[in-house]
Chain A
Amino acid sequence: MLNDLLTLMRSELLVTGLIFLLLVLKIGGWMNSGRMLPWIQALLLLNFIIGLIDLPEGNLFGGMYNTNDIILLEKNVLNGALFLISLLFTVRFNKTRNLPEFFILLLSSLLGMFLMISSGHLLMFYLSLELATLPLAALVGFDLDKRTSSEAAMKMLYSSAFSSVMLLFGISLMYGIAGTLNFNELSIIAQSSNPLFITAFIFLFTAFAFKLSIVPFHFWTADVYEGSPMPITAFLSVVSKGGIVFVFMSVLFKVFQNIQEVWYYLIVILAIATMLIGNIFAIRQQNMKRFLAFSSIAQVGFILAGISGNSIQGRASVIFFIIIYIFSNLAAFGVVNIISSHTGSEKMEKYKGLYRSHPGLAWVMALALFSLAGIPPTAGFFGKLFLLSAGAARGNYWFLTFAALNMVISLFYYLKVVRLMFIDKNDKPLEDINLNTPVKMGLIICVLGILLTGFISWIFNYLILVA
């Protein structure tokens, strides 16, 4: 049993080990907080590399914890994203007080997401969801000297508390109907003829909808993204969303497969609303963080289009898209971070004429935005193509036409930023920016990911094999 535990829960144990290591180092005072960052980055890289090693399938604790190849891959994707975040925001981390606490909380949230992805029982799911959310609420308020940060933390806390309440209600209803909270047993009990079950499902769904910023549960997104410190915004938009998407897919495809006529139309309607609201609100934004927040809402709408496919192909396309989305969004946040720390402002007009003064940064931002818009030859094109193609399997071509036309709207606001950078001129151009090496490495990794992922077909083929 112990042997099983040690091997199967390897990812969680590694992250827990890291947490305890940081805790000990901080409390023992053996290492100056300022010098911890390179070690943290190295350990996160090690964590990612070890995560690439295969593990056997299995489940623990009576089915509460499962693992298989695809779950392992999903967790490692999140590992990689966290490593990239630690690289890209090096400068900001060097200025952060209480850096070990920061990473302890971050890693705890990651641990919660790992347990969520592996969960096989609704109680386990709930516990790990709370573990994932609470540290984030603290992290959102980590910028103690900014009022917007505390405001964002309060908003995050209240909204997630409310969604947890709804989740608990749904879980208790389900327990009342089924007498069990185990995923496998629930999937047998799930019948569309049982209206109480459908109601319980809806409550469960709202928890996901809140974390994923699906319209109409998206209202917290823009303010929280704007107020949080930049690395947390990146983490929220990429890792948190990615993890929840992975769980969402497992839960929908495994547990609620039998009531898919119910959730298919639910997802289609919500996807339409999400894409539309995300795109329309993004057009008016002047703050880059809010802009990227609304753009991620629109991307989630697209992901829903892929999930609506309800197939192995759908699952593989979504994971593929999340990988590409991680690269693109992190590259964008990396550039926003650099510009914001040098000009002190996150406003879009600071990007005017960026190509003239800093062509490299402008190109990185442009590539990231093109990938988010779905323009070839960036990988975002392939991501969106596969998502649409998975959704097309159901034959709902009106929905897909709507989704494809939304790509046009999203191109409009992405081109706005591209236009500011390449075409407009700036009277007060930015002075020279010397990029820190880890930041440069992080940006290079992201750019390579954007350019090459689409062409390296074995990634997608492997995903289809494993999903």
Chain B
Amino acid sequence: MDLTALILLPLFTALAILIVRQSTPVRWIALTGSVAQLLLAVLLLLFYNRERELGNTAQMMYETKYAWFASLNINFHTGVDGIAVAMILLTSFVVVAGVLVSWNNKKYTAEYFFLLILLSLGAYGFFISLDLILLFFFLEVAVIPKFLLIGIWGSGNKEASANKLALMLMGASALILIGILGMYYYGGNSFDILTLSQTSIPVTAQKIFFPLLFLGFGVFTAIFPFHTWVPDGHSSAPTAGSMFLAGISMKLGGYGCIRVAAYLMPEGAKEYAAVIIILATIAIIYGAFATLMQTDLKYMNAYSSISHCGFVLLGIGMLTTTALTGAVMQMVSHGLMTALFFAVIGMIYERSGTRNVNEMSGLQKQMPFIITVLYIAGLCSLGLPGLSGFVAEMMVFMGSWQQQGILHRVATVLAAMSIVVTSVYILKAVTRISMGPLKAGLESVRDAQWNEKLAAIILIVGILAIGLAPAWLNDLVRPGAEILMNHIQGK
């Protein structure tokens, strides 16, 4: 199966959207394109699993390599392993849901869907790249669509938030670029991830470039203290924009931390593991407590995303296979969950005109479907068993407990305790909105329409598939994580 199809399909969808400008066909084109991409992702999963069953133990499957700038050793090198397949699957689910949720967008419809599909193209390309410049290319392609999506279709203080997001992410990309160039020159003039993993970069160089790379990718994953773009950026974005930003864009950072920073510079990873753990724990706890203070639903979810993505960084910092598997599972689970949450918040905002928790109550009777979905999203966030959040966080804790240092133990305990805080803010917000007497002015809100129901169901299917039967995801991700961890531990 040729991985270039994963890039070409969104590209053709985007171009078709540009050519056909009217709102109605454009929506169907976007939907067809994204559903086809979802089918491709599922096919990729099935083919990948079959290859593994047939005994193929190569690290990367479906590798292709075309020379691009041969003089600088830049190639169009693509390939997937289990982790990449999981992320591609996540992206396709979130994009389909995003397209469905934006169905009734009236303003510049063609441009909106064009930018959304372009964003997804960047994500798919990022996950299949095995060449550092190609990876960086796809990472940067997404910056301007994000800026335009927030700036044009957003709400609230959208221009400033869009600016903050674009500039901080560009700054992070600048750091990543320097890290990549450093690895090129110290790693024997190669931009290829697989080749670089076999060469040993001098430890002094690693001590300089690992922080640059990890910080750069970490900003995408809202590493503390560079998380400030998240609350404003996610909250000012339109619904599908927030779903994509929180669901996929933040995972680009986590994937980059694993695949590029930790994998290619193992000594650097071990050197800075303590710092990563501390920063991750701060993010988890700070994010959780900051969410407690919020009254705006979107800001709540944004800070909660900071907290949950802290789990991803914690899993990476712990440097055990189980923790790494847990980090990847948390990326997938959180992606689905936060996309669902933002979708539901968007639905509520559209109907009630407010995102303030204190201005809504008693919506349970008016919109049962939406409130049910809200409960599911909330319960997934606080880690109820049966939903994906529990599985992922459990994995991270189990992996973290394998490390016996005092820092690791303290961090694990603190992270586990943050779940209580999560429960508080989730239950508080959700019950306040749904229960109690119906607030004045909300009598005319209607329940979800077909597109919103479909979007929610798609995401819930994903969440349940991981939550009720997580073995498939574990078996998908674990071998890749094991290879990574063996390499990092130096075996």
Contacts and interface: CB of A to CB of B under 8 A. Distances in A.
A binds B: yes
Nearest to B153: A423
Interface in B110-156: 133, 137-138, 140-141, 143-144, 147-148, 151-152
A419 B159 contact: yes
Nearest to A312: B71
B141 A457 contact: no
B184 A389 contact: yes
B143 A375 contact: yes
A135 interface: no
A385 interface: yes
A423 B174 contact: no
A392 B151 contact: no
A91 interface: no
A408 B171 contact: yes
Contact of B185 (A375, A377, A392): A392
B290 to A, nearest CB: 26
Contact of B174 (A375, A381, A393, A407): A407
Contact of A313 (B72, B159, B181, B212): B72
B177 interface: yes
The 5 A-B residue pairs with the shortest CB-CB distance in the complex, in nearest-first order: A404-B174, A464-B71, A392-B181, A423-B151, A408-B171
Interface in B158-201: 158-159, 162-163, 166-167, 170-171, 174-175, 177-178, 181-182, 184-185
Interface residues of A, number: 32
A405 B137 CA distance: 17
Contacts of A422: 148, 151-152
B148 A461 contact: no
B233 to A, nearest CB: 14
A56 interface: no
Contact of A376 (B69, B71, B140, B175): B140
Contacts, number: 87
A388 B181 contact: yes
Contacts of B170: 407-408, 411
Interface of A: 313, 316, 370, 375-377, 381, 385-386, 388-389, 392-393, 395, 397, 400-401, 404-405, 407-408, 411-412, 415, 418-419, 422-423, 457, 460-461, 464
A133 B212 CA distance: 45
Contacts of A381: 137, 140
A365 to B, nearest CB: 13
Contacts of B167: 408, 411-412, 415
B172 to A, nearest CB: 9
Given A385-B133, A392-B185, A457-B68, A408 B174 contact: yes
Contacts of B181: 388-389, 392, 397, 400
Contacts of B177: 385, 388, 404
A371 to B, nearest CB: 11
B208 interface: yes
A198 B133 CA distance: 40
A418 B175 CA distance: 24
Contact of A397 (B137, B141, B147, B182): B182
B478 to A, nearest CB: 33
Q: Which of the listed residues B72, B137, B140, B151 has the most CB atoms from chain A within 10 Å of its own CB?
A: B72
Interface residues of B, number: 35
B70 interface: yes
Contact of B178 (A316, A370, A400, A415): A400
Nearest to A391: B181
A395 B205 CA distance: 11
Nearest to A382: B69
A412 B182 contact: no
A460 B68 CA distance: 10
9 contacts: A376-B137, A395-B185, A400-B178, A404-B177, A408-B167, A419-B162, A423-B152, A423-B158, A423-B162
Contacts of A460: 69, 71
Contacts of B72: 313, 386, 389
Contacts of A415: 147, 163, 166-167
A305 B177 CA distance: 15
Interface string B28-45: 000000000000000000
Interface string B436-474: 000000000000000000000000000000000000000
Contacts of A375: 140-141, 143-144
Given A392-B184, A395-B185, A411-B167, A377 B68 contact: no
Contacts of B138: 376
B174 A401 contact: yes
B171 A405 contact: yes
A415 B439 CA distance: 42
Nearest to B21: A359
Nearest to A375: B144
A376 B141 contact: yes
A385 B133 CA distance: 9
Contacts of A405: 171, 174
A395 B209 CA distance: 12
A453 to B, nearest CB: 12
